[in-house]
Amino acid sequence: MITTIKISHPSKIARGTINLTGSKSISNRALTIQALCLGDFNIENLSNSADTQTLIKLLASNDKALNTGHSGTTYRFMTAYCAVTGRETLLSGSERMNSRPIGELVRALRSLGANIDYVDKEGYPPLQISSKKITGSRVTLKADISSQFITALLLIAPRLTNGLEVILESEPVSRPYIEMTLRMMEYFGVSHTWNGLVIKIEGKDYVAKDYFVESDWSSASYLYAIAALADESDITINGLTDQALQGDSAISKMMTSFGIESIFTDRSVRITKTNNNSVPFFEYDFISQPDIAQTMSIVGAGKGTSMLFSGLQTLAIKETDRTKALKKELKKYGVSFVKMPT
């Protein structure tokens, strides 16, 4: 049964105060660190997303068959977690998840000594992970597929006797997500160096410390879009700061092109519309913030602004092909979304 929902806002004025759930990206990293840490600590403001709730469930489970559903983050983190903890696991996902590549992460873990077999198609889930101690300390990794492969390896590094050296074959996509991981690891007592394409993590256990998860900037981007498209806006979003771990916080700077001002306090941001002017043309490389390209495309469509985006290659291997979805939905409003020749 198809449900039709009609949304209207005759006043075209957006005002209010919003409490957002914690960042999914930060929550999933914090939970993985918590599971790998030898001591106990509390995590506040965890995301209520399905991905995070699935990860909580799987980390607590003693079952030998685990299913991550649609969540790519959960699948990648659990693959590395099960490998380093010697947990014998049949790890599967939804039909879409089983069509998303995992080969580069498996190859890297195997090079460190993990025993992982493909159940069906080579390079794709499901995986059979067998109990075997990982002894390696150096790995080479393609960096142009998903930053989550890199993060999954970095997170388990403190469990390796000699730490881990990750050699990237190229500049990584979504670099802010890797930087987020490293900053969180620093908070929990694990230091690193990053010189050129080489990241080194010391072989030292995580230190248990209570942690507060900042609110989700990807979710905040939708409120920024509402503010930009309204005639008048005055919205306060709690849980956000200008010292954010999340690369998607770049939305606050992008939106200045559409008359939106951000005023930060200790743990909140107030966004107001200072004028109704917007730039006629907007160009941006989303290689570090691919998730907010969708938000910006809607703002551009609503404001009649032509836009040129680059760095969208990772959107095709999300839970759905997001570039195709954008093209399909924008077409319904007479907006063209065309892939340019490279």
**pLDDT score of 190:** 98
Instruction: Report long-range pairs for 185-188 (Cβ below 8 Å, ≥24 apart).
Output: 185/33, 185/154, 185/155, 185/158, 187/211, 188/33, 188/37
What's the total number of domains in the chain?
2
Q: What is the pLDDT of residues 127-186, one digit of tens each?
A: 999 978 888 999 999 988 889 999 999 999 999 999 999 999 999 888 889 999 999 999
Indicate the average pLDDT of the chain: 93
193 and 225 in a common domain? no
Q: Is the pLDDT of residue 293 over 80?
A: yes
Q: How far apart are CA 232 and CA 229, in angstroms?
A: 9
Residues 51, 216, 248, 291: which is the catalytic one? 291
Per the domain annotation, does 111 fall within a domain? yes
Contact 279, 255 (CB under 8 A): no
Question: 314 pLDDT band (50/70/90 cuts)?
Answer: confident
Q: Is the pLDDT of residue 322 over 90?
A: no
Per the domain annotation, does 238 fall within a domain? yes
148 and 48 in a common domain? yes
**pLDDT score of 266:** 85
152 and 57 in a common domain? yes
Q: What is the mean pLDDT of residues 3-22?
A: 88
255 and 131 in a common domain? no
**pLDDT score of 277:** 84
CATH code where residue 191 lies: 3.65.10.10
Beta bridge pairs of residue 283 = 308
Q: What is the mean pLDDT of residues 207-213?
A: 97
Q: What is the pLDDT of residues 39-56, one digit of tens each?
A: 999 999 999 999 999 999
**pLDDT score of 173:** 82
Q: Could you say which of 197, 212, 227 is where a domain stops?
A: 212
77 and 66 in a common domain? yes
265 and 242 in a common domain? yes
Q: Could you say which of 184, 212, 240 is where a domain stops?
A: 212
Any catalytic annotation for residue 291?
yes
Question: 70 pLDDT band (50/70/90 cuts)?
Answer: very high
119 and 84 in a common domain? yes
Q: Is the pLDDT of residue 64 over 70?
A: yes
Q: Could you say which of 190, 212, 234 is where a domain stops?
A: 212
**pLDDT score of 174:** 83
CA atoms within 13 A on the CB side of 253: 7
Alpha helices in the chain (DSSP H): 24-36, 50-60, 72-85, 103-111, 147-156, 175-187, 217-229, 251-254, 293-303, 322-331
Residue predicted with more confidence, 312 or 238: 238
Structural domain including 265 reads 13-20+215-331
Per the domain annotation, does 342 fall within a domain? no
Full-model pTM = 0.83
Share of the chain above pLDDT 70, in %: 98
Q: What is the pLDDT of residues 258-290, one digit of tens each?
A: 999 999 998 899 999 998 888 999 999 998 888
Per the domain annotation, does 4 fall within a domain? no
